[in-house]
Amino acid sequence: MIFETLDTYGHEQVVFCHNKDAGLKAIIAIHNTVLGPALGGTRMWPYQSEAEALNDVLRLSRGMTYKNAVAGLNIGGGKAVIIGDPAKDKSEALFRAFGQFVESLGGRYITAEDVGIDVNDMEYVYRETEYVTGVHQVHGGSGDPSPFTAYGALQGLLATLNRKFGDEDVGKYSYAVQGLGHVGMEYVKLLKERGAKIFVTDINKSLVDKAVSDYGVEAVGLDEIYDVPVDVYSPCALGGTVNEQTLPRLKCKVICGAANNQLANNEIGDEVVRRGILYAPDYAVNAGGVMNVALELDGYNRERAMRMMRTIYHNLSRIYEISDRDGIPTYKAADRLAEERIEKIGKLKLPLGRGRTRFQGRVRGS
């Protein structure tokens, strides 16, 4: 049924990667390369089955196509997953074997960090292939993309506050932030700098304690976060947290956060509209990280990256305009914006060399 599934999702290529000696079992999914080479991170996770891993990589890679298109990038969408426990299964051999598979695709897929992967792991991948982003600054890369993801999410929040309330005064409003990883903690910092009232939760108690100590936020239980009366619910951890069980409990007027796949399904997205809640489409809000690493293709510049993050405000504003224009929920408007761009660019007769990977200013070596 794999080809039938690919027809449904619209993928161009799926590669199964196996190296017994290195213990590598991985899947690379290239969804769409109309705008350029497919770029998306590699996730390492102890999937319960190969079918679960395949479903995850197909879903995530399709999401990257839409994220990159809405972000205005000249790159397509792809993703990779490595089946394994990042706490105990990592090794140099495993990541170098994976790097060889990435190299074999000749630039059709460019990888980066994702869940379970850090910049040190990418160092090993980078020894085998240049088709890596998010490499350490010593190589001319951009390093950890988390601060840029958080800053981009702030730009999306500003556009959303303006849409819902008619102003951009972050400090006037209250926030329930779910998840305090690298992105979530930085997002909390940015909110606090602007005087916001913030409630937080995370499965890791030490991170909650740090947020309380460093930023003066109020901690609530993992399940209680849905019941807090706030203006904005900001999911910054796992996906699917806006679902049949949680949506009736939410007391917010806005949903805007950095997590992927926040809505459990399209029906929930429709119900969000009926309840008068403004949803900021997740992949438009959290595009700052991929914007940042994509700049490595032409030679990384931090000032240029920060300027690019601010375009997220414009992207969200455009999505809200399409929502009004076509009378559709914002999650559908985001998809429409992406699809319109892909269709229009796909019809252009562009010169040879479109999408060529350059990586100017990069240094490889041990």
Give the pLDDT confidence score for residue 352 in this predicted structure: 47
DSSP per residue over 166-193, as a string?
S---GGGSEEEEE--SHHHHHHHHHHHH
Token pair in block for residue 137: 């600054």
Q: How many CB atoms lie within 10 A of CB 87?
A: 9
Residue 349 appears among annotated catalytic residues: no
* 158 close to 167: Cβ distance less than 8 angstroms: no
Amino acid at 126: Y
Give the pLDDT confidence score for residue 349 in this predicted structure: 65
Contacts of 203 (CB under 8 A, 6+ apart): 222, 237
Give the pLDDT confidence score for residue 119 in this predicted structure: 84
What is the rounded distance in angstroms from the CA atom of residue 156 to the CA atom of residue 259? 13
> Tokens 């329930």 label which residue?
176
What is the rounded distance in angstroms from the CA atom of residue 128 to the CA atom of residue 331? 38
- Alpha-carbon distances of 71 from 28, 313, 316, 334, 342, rounded to whole Å: 22, 10, 10, 11, 12
Q: Which of 25, 79, 164, 192 is catalytic?
A: 79
DSSP per residue over 51-114, as a string?
HHHHHHHHHHHHHHHHHHHHTT-S-EEEEEEEES-TTT---HHHHHHHHHHHHHTTTSEEB-B-
Contacts of 159 (CB under 8 A, 6+ apart): 280, 312, 313, 314, 316, 317, 320
Q: What angle do CA 191, 197, 199 make, to 5 degrees?
A: 95
pLDDT digits (tens), the chain, 366 positions:
677 777 777 899 999 999 999 999 999 999 999 999 999 999 999 999 999 999 999 989 999 999 999 999 999 999 999 999 999 999 999 999 999 999 999 999 999 988 888 888 999 999 999 999 887 777 767 767 788 999 999 999 999 999 999 999 999 999 999 999 989 999 999 999 999 999 999 999 999 999 999 999 999 999 999 999 999 999 999 889 999 999 999 999 999 999 988 999 999 999 999 999 999 999 999 999 899 988 888 888 888 888 899 999 999 999 999 999 999 999 999 999 999 999 999 888 665 445 556 676 666 655
Alpha carbon dihedral 281, 285, 289, 291, in 10-degree steps, equals 90
DSSP strand pairing (109-110 vs 174-178):
unpaired
Closest CA to 57 of 40, 84, 81: 81
Amino acid at 348: L
* 27 close to 17: Cβ distance less than 8 angstroms: yes
> Tokens 């074997």 label which residue?
97
Q: How many CB atoms lie within 10 A of CB 223?
A: 11
What is the rounded distance in angstroms from the CA atom of residue 346 to the CA atom of residue 183? 33
Token pair in block for residue 66: 């839409």
CA 136 to chain centre: 19
